[in-house]
């Protein structure tokens, strides 16, 4: 976003804050709001659902910078959310080992922002446009019932904006911290007549912990709700992100990380590796109730995302006529809709809820590749090497039924049929570079079912089972493992069988404990076959298993004292032998990865312990977070060391009539521990490690008024 546009955006929003706030105060009407659940059940609380569902509230008075979704996700068991300290790459996110192999963005999980998909039909997605400034809560579903969201549903992550209500505050927030990092944000919430609103704008700027890792990002989020009649509502959601020229320091080899974890790889400076992203999207959600039992929900959305990335691929690797260059330019239009009907009533004498729906999404992407050099000048756009239009679409049908069988037993069952179609139209047919056009469709039906036992008021126990379905993404189809021309349409979808046993305990003391045992067995697991010339190609490698235990505990210790615990044990491994390439230029895999080898990028142990102390106007906390080491490649020859780091935070509020001033600070890595924050799985140059930051400090202030 140009600086003049940024200034105009801030001026417009800040000018509107008092106007909208005053308008809200002048209106006394109220609208009923519906708490949307990750389970898509309207009348059944999450605690009564046979699935692992976590909801984390976003407090406007917390002591975090409110920049990354990792702030909310890091304490959820089963979820690995890694801040890569590299804003040219998205948050590294996986759930129970699904999505761990993603080298950029998020894959293998379904992502939503206010009900609008942030994952494309092929399962590739991103969370960079999630607005922390406008967020009310984030919800995560793990386990078999994730499959009801469609292709590549190893888990579901949804972020929701808070509907504005009468008396909600307007706030301005600023932070400054280590590595010349600062943020500035503004939010206003409220109601004007029959319209509620939540408008948030934030700007983030950092010099970067590592060399060549500076970035700035502007995010805007608007949610407007309209009461347009009896049991009839309409909501509009618009969000934008602008990320210009975020520097990419690339990964480090083990030796380079040990020598200096803050350095950038030499070729990052040489090629000025960087990425720019610009995205705007909007969606409408309409709900209409019929009688007391039925509700129709219609959703439609449209968005555009433009990406340009400069890679550190040497000119010698681009001599091959089939090479697509080191400058990637993507321009994507995406759109879709969802229609669902919900009924709540009785089936015979049993309380019941039924949801039936259809869903379609489509992405049309213009993918171009250029050389990343002109003569001796590196890191600039050169001659074109790739030009194609890639289209991926899905058409799904789904149904879900909940039944209260007896006072103590309930059943939830459902199924989703998905058809995903890939189409590539090659427009770069030059010399020995042939026509790479092609078309491929995948389809499958994923049934799920679970039972819940409610022996006493405070305790639930459940069991669930289901099938999952994961197609390759367009990125994984883009390069054939044999080095030939065309897309890798020989790849098959990975199909998994998922099992879960869990308990949820809510005694009257305010304690909340959730625990689950889980297992997922996958056939035709997708993995890297070879890395060469800066490109990864994939193949189906046989079977894999992900199994483990997770628990979360929230325990009020005494007045003003509270403790939180999250722990995950996860054994993720391949259960059949397969072959890989380890030598540059290899086209026929010849090195065996034996059965029992760990799936890269998945920590075996991960946990968080946090103690909160909130006397009067103060909020104080001390936390410890840790992870076992991360295996970085398929043959498990490189792994990062495990770590435990300690963080502390404090905040203090002062009331001044209808306004409040809050000052806060957060200190991270108190013992200045040297650690690897994330790994780049199967990086072709053995630059696997991305450093976690050493000791860092942040201070902030927030002014809010009603």
Residue 516's nearest CA partner among 49, 40, 39 is 49
The C-alpha atoms of residue 102 and residue 108 are separated, in whole angstroms, by 8
The C-alpha atoms of residue 323 and residue 327 are separated, in whole angstroms, by 11
The C-alpha atoms of residue 425 and residue 435 are separated, in whole angstroms, by 9
pLDDT score of 30 more than 60: no
Listing DSSP states for 357-407 in one string gives: EEEEEEEEEEEEEE-SEETTEESS--SEEEEEEEEEEEEEEEEEEEEE-SS
Q: 7 or 452, which is more confident?
A: 452
Q: 58 or 646, which is more confident?
A: 646
**468 neighbors 459 (Cβ within 8 angstroms):** no
Listing DSSP states for 102-114 in one string gives: -SSSEESSEEEET
pLDDT at 361: 96
Q: How confident is the model at residue 684 (pLDDT cuts 50, 70, 90)?
A: confident
**424 neighbors 436 (Cβ within 8 angstroms):** yes
All structural domains of the chain with their residue ranges: 3-705
pLDDT at 534: 55
Average pLDDT in the 298-316 region? 95
Average pLDDT in the 606-628 region? 96
What are the tens digits of pLDDT across the range 372-419?
Answer: 999 999 999 999 999 999 999 999 999 999 999 999 999 999 999 999
pLDDT at 539: 83
The C-alpha atoms of residue 663 and residue 704 are separated, in whole angstroms, by 12
What are the tens digits of pLDDT across the range 77-112?
Answer: 999 999 888 999 888 899 999 988 777 778 889 999
Q: How confident is the model at residue 13 (pLDDT cuts 50, 70, 90)?
A: very low
pLDDT score of 14 more than 60: no
How big is the chain by its Cα radius of gyration, in Å? Answer: 25
pTM here is: 0.90
pLDDT score of 31 more than 80: no
**18 neighbors 468 (Cβ within 8 angstroms):** no
228-232, 518-522, 604-608: the lowest-pLDDT one: 228-232
Is the CATH number of domain 3-705 2.40.170.20? yes
What are the tens digits of pLDDT across the range 269-303?
Answer: 999 999 999 999 999 999 999 988 999 999 999 99
pLDDT at 94: 93
What are the tens digits of pLDDT across the range 198-249?
Answer: 999 999 999 999 999 999 999 999 999 999 988 899 999 999 999 999 999 9
pLDDT at 451: 98
First and final C-alpha spacing in the chain: 31
pLDDT at 22: 35
470-474, 572-576, 660-664: the lowest-pLDDT one: 470-474
pLDDT at 531: 66
pLDDT score of 8 more than 50: no
pLDDT score of 12 more than 60: no
| SS3 (DSSP) at 465 | strand
What are the tens digits of pLDDT across the range 140-168?
Answer: 999 999 999 988 888 999 999 999 999 89
Listing DSSP states for 236-287 in one string gives: EEEEEEEEEEEE----B-HHHHHH-TTPPPHHHHHHT-EEEEEEEEEEEEEE
Q: How confident is the model at residue 35 (pLDDT cuts 50, 70, 90)?
A: very low
**147 neighbors 466 (Cβ within 8 angstroms):** yes
Q: Give the chain's mean pLDDT.
A: 89
Percent of the chain at pLDDT exceeding 70: 93
In terms of C-beta density within 10 A (0-12 exposed, 13-18 middle, 19 or more buried), how is residue 127 classed?
A: buried
pLDDT at 508: 84
Q: How confident is the model at residue 522 (pLDDT cuts 50, 70, 90)?
A: very high
């Amino acid at each position: 976003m140009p600086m003049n546009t940024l200034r105009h955006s801030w001026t417009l929003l800040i000018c509107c804050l008092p106007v909208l706030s005053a308008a809200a105060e002048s209106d006394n009407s109220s609208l009923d709001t519906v708490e949307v659940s990750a389970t898509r059940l309207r009348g059944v609380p999450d605690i009564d659902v046979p699935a692992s569902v976590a909801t984390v509230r976003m407090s406007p008075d917390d002591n975090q910078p409110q920049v990354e979704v990792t702030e909310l996700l890091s304490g959820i068991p089963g979820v690995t959310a890694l801040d890569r300290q590299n804003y040219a790459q998205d948050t590294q996110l996986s759930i129970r080992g699904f999505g761990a192999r993603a080298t950029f963005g998020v894959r293998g999980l379904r992502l939503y922002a206010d009900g609008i998909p942030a994952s494309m039909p092929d399962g590739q997605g991103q969370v960079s446009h999630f607005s922390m400034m406008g967020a009310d809560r984030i919800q995560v579903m793990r386990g078999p019932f994730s499959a009801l969201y469609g292709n590549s549903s190893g888990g579901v992550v949804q972020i929701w904006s808070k509907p504005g209500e009468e008396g909600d505050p307007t706030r301005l927030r600023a932070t400054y911290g280590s590595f010349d990092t600062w943020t500035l944000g503004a939010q206003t919430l409220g109601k004007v007549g029959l319209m509620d609103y939540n408008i948030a704008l934030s700007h983030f700027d950092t010099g970067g912990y590592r060399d060549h890792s500076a970035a700035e990002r502007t995010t805007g989020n608007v949610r407007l709700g309209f009461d347009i009649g009896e049991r009839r509502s309409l909501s509009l959601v618009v969000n934008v992100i602008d990320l210009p020229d975020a520097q990419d320091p690339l990964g480090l080899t083990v030796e380079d990380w040990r020598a200096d974890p803050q350095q950038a790889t030499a070729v990052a400076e040489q090629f000025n590796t960087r990425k720019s992203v610009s995205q705007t999207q909007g969606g409408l959600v309409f709900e209409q109730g019929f009688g007391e039992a039925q509700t129709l929900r219609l959703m439609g959305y449209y968005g555009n995302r433009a990406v340009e990335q400069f890679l550190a691929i040497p000119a010698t690797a681009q001599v091959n006529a089939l090479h697509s260059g080191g400058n990637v330019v993507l321009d994507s239009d995406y759109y879709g809709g969802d229609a669902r009907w919900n009924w709540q009533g009785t089936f015979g004498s049993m309380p019941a809820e039924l949801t039936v729906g259809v869903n379609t999404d489509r992405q049309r992407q213009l993918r171009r590749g250029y050389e990343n050099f002109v003569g001796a000048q590196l890191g600039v756009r050169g001659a074109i090497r790739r030009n194609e239009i890639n289209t991926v679409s899905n058409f799904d049908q789904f149904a879900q039924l909940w039944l209260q069988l007896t006072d103590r037993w309930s059943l939830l069952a459902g199924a989703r049929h998905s058809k995903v179609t890939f189409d590539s139209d090659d427009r770069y047919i030059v010399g020995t570079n042939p026509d790479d056009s092609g078309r491929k469709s995948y389809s499958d039906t994923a049934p799920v079912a679970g039972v819940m036992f409610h022996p006493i008021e405070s305790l639930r126990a459940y069991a669930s089972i289901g099938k999952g379905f994961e197609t390759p993404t367009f990125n994984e189809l883009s390069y054939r493992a044999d080095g030939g021309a065309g897309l890798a349409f020989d790849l098959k979808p990975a199909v998994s069988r998922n099992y879960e046993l869990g308990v949820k305990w809510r005694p009257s003391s305010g304690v909340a404990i959730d625990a689950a045992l889980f297992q997922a067995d996958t056939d035709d697991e997708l993995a890297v076959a070879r890395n060469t010339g800066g490109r990864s190609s994939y193949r189906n490698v046989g079977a894999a298993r992900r199994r483990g235990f997770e628990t979360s505990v929230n325990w009020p210790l005494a007045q003003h004292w509270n403790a939180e615990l999250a722990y995950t044990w996860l054994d993720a491994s391949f259960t059949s032998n397969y072959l890989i390439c380890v030598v540059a230029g290899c086209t026929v895999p010849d090195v065996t990865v034996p059965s029992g080898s760990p799936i890269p990028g998945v920590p075996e142990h991960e946990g968080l312990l946090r103690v909160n102390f909130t006397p009067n106007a103060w909020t104080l906390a001390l936390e410890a977070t840790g992870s076992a080491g991360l295996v970085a490649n398929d043959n498990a020859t490189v792994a990062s060391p495990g770590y435990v780091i300690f963080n502390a935070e404090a905040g203090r509020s002062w009331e001044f009539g209808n306004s409040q001033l809050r000052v806060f600070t957060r200190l991270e890595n108190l013992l200045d521990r040297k650690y690897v924050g994330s790994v780049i799985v199967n990086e072709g140059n053995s630059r696997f490690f991305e450093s976690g930051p050493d000791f860092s400090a942040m201070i902030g202030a927030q002014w809010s008024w009603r």
